Amino acid sequence: MTEPPVQKSILQVLGGHRQTVPPVWMMRQAGRYLPEYRALRQTAGGFLDLCYSPKLAAEVTLQPIRRFGFDAAILFSDILVIPHALGRDVRFEAGEGPRLEPLRDPAAVSALRNEVDHDVLAPIYETIGLVKAALPPKVTLLGFCGAPWTVATYMIAGQGTPDQAPARIFAYRHPQAFAQLVDRLVEASSSYLVRQFEAGIDAVQIFDTWAGVLPPAEFQQWCIAPTQRIVAKVRERVPDAKIIGFPRGAGSNLSRYTDEVAVDAVGLDWMLDLTFARDAIQRKKPVQGNLDPLALLAGGAALDRSVDAILAALTGGPFIFNLGHGILPDTPISHVEQMLKRVRG
Ligand code: CP3
């Protein structure tokens, strides 16, 4: 007789089943707030070299699981491996964030390669196998990609920008060329996510970090529609693929995203009203979120209060505790421990 398989609490929630104690993980949980990450990072050369080194990337993926016992491990990589695998030059300068060769005009978009080079991404698929073999069976292994809009903002500007103005202007001036770029990213991201599932990933998150700058019509065109297409394409190949959507800053557009994009759960940012989150979003789909990363950084009574308000609002339905965006590098380890204690009781 074989043992019944161990249940992964996050997959349970993604299937619509409320857990008595909500499962918890943190966006950017593998990263610079961890001394063990900073130590390993120094030995690894460039940031992309680390993403493409299966043994090291697997180790970094597992670090927060060992230290905190989170309910999910998120694959250590970056959303900008997709532009890299589309043949663009991508670098991470120390202390400066990403630098890409910008797409300056429609001609540059037309000249992009049609398909991602999976040979470039192969080390990432290998990392998934290594993590899978080392992970406790109750821990969910999450893969991810950036949503087309968010990845496009970096490809057009060549770097992070405060208001994503270069991509917004490009999309207004050259809607056809911008649509062509988004089409390439839909193709690239879907085939990347399918490969992640084939390599053993349990569920994926689609990060639309910059969705919040789009007016409603553009939110429909550049956030909702491309994400719908990715979800459909992934499910053509992986029919039961579990997918979390995170359109950060969507605000009142979040109802439409929840209704129209067939994700299994919706990630909430920290700005979202909790009553709206419960009544308008969680009534329809499982939700994940949404502690303010700065409340976690600040700690103390404000952290307890923020955690309690989220638990009070959202634990009546299917819910995964998380931050409302990535953990900040200056966050003390003890604050993460305080948060976990409070969530797990
Ligand atoms: O969540 C995890 O722990 C998994 C790994 C992960 C990273 N980036 C590692 C990383 C994930 C899921 C991402 C997603 C990502 N990358 C997003 C979407 C989510 C978000 O945070 O908004 C975006 C917009 C990026 C692009 C990116 N990568 C930027 C803007 C930067 C520089 C700024 C920063 O936060 O450092 C990165 C670099 C990066 N990605 C680091 C890590 C651990 C730091 C690099 C280093 O160690 O020097």
* C-alpha 4 to ligand 1 mean position (Å): 37
**Ligand 1 atom 3: residue of nearest CA:** 28
Q: Any catalytic annotation for residue 28?
A: yes
User: What is the pLDDT at residue 3?
Assistant: 74
Cα–Cα distance measured from residue 131 to residue 58, given in angstroms and rounded to the nearest whole number: 5
* C-alpha 326 to ligand 1 mean position (Å): 8
Q: Any catalytic annotation for residue 104?
A: no
Q: Any catalytic annotation for residue 195?
A: no
Catalytically annotated residue among 33, 37, 52, 154: 154
Cα–Cα distance measured from residue 288 to residue 162, given in angstroms and rounded to the nearest whole number: 25
Q: Exposure of 311 by Cβ count < 10 A (0-12 exposed, 13-18 middle, 19+ buried)? A: middle
Instruction: Determine which helix (DSSP H) or strand (DSSP E) holds 247, and give its type and residue range.
Output: strand 242-247
Q: What is the pLDDT along the chain (345 residues), one digit of tens a residue?
A: 677 778 999 999 999 999 999 999 999 999 999 999 999 999 888 999 999 999 999 999 999 999 999 999 999 999 999 999 999 999 998 788 999 999 999 999 999 998 999 999 999 999 999 999 999 999 999 999 999 999 999 999 999 999 999 999 999 999 999 999 999 999 999 999 999 999 999 999 999 999 999 999 999 999 999 999 999 999 999 999 999 999 999 999 999 999 999 999 999 999 999 999 999 999 999 999 999 999 999 999 999 999 999 999 999 999 999 999 999 999 999 999 999 999 999
Domains in the chain, start-ordered, CATH in brackets?
9-344 (3.20.20.210)
The preferred substitution site among 24, 26, 27, 28 for testing ligand 1, maximizing ligand atoms within 8 Å of CB, is 28
Query: What does each C-alpha distance from 172 to 104, 151, 179, 220 come to in angstroms?
Result: 14, 17, 11, 14
Residue 101 CB less than 6 A away from ligand 1: no
Nearest-atom index, ligand 1, CA of 248: 22
Nearest-atom index, ligand 1, CA of 205: 12
Contact of 26 with 297, CB cutoff 8 Å: no
Q: Exposure of 81 by Cβ count < 10 A (0-12 exposed, 13-18 middle, 19+ buried)? A: buried
Residue 79 CB less than 6 A away from ligand 1: yes
Give the list of residues 6+ apart from residue 198 with CB closer than 8 angstroms, or none. 125, 238
Residue 211 CB less than 6 A away from ligand 1: no
Q: Any catalytic annotation for residue 89?
A: no
* C-alpha 292 to ligand 1 mean position (Å): 17
Catalytically annotated residue among 28, 99, 235, 256: 28
Residue 192 CB less than 6 A away from ligand 1: no
Catalytically annotated residue among 18, 52, 67, 78: 78
Cα–Cα distance measured from residue 292 to residue 176, given in angstroms and rounded to the nearest whole number: 37
* C-alpha 77 to ligand 1 mean position (Å): 8
Nearest-atom index, ligand 1, CA of 27: 1
Q: Any catalytic annotation for residue 278?
A: no
Cα–Cα distance measured from residue 243 to residue 231, given in angstroms and rounded to the nearest whole number: 8
CA angle 24, 46, 118 (to 5 degrees): 75
Dihedral over Cα of 250, 253, 259, 262: its sign: negative
Convert 19-65 into a string of H (helix), E (strand) and C (coil). Answer: CCCCCECCCCCCCCCCHHHHHHHHHCCCHHHHHCCHHHHHHHHHHHH
Q: What are phi and psi of 289, to 5 degrees?
A: 155, -155
In sequence order, which ranges of the chain are alpha helices (DSSP H)?
9-14, 35-43, 47-51, 54-68, 81-85, 106-110, 118-134, 148-157, 165-173, 175-199, 216-218, 225-237, 254-260, 274-276, 293-298, 300-314, 333-344
**Ligand 1 atom 11: residue of nearest CA:** 78
* C-alpha 325 to ligand 1 mean position (Å): 11
Residue 41 CB less than 6 A away from ligand 1: yes
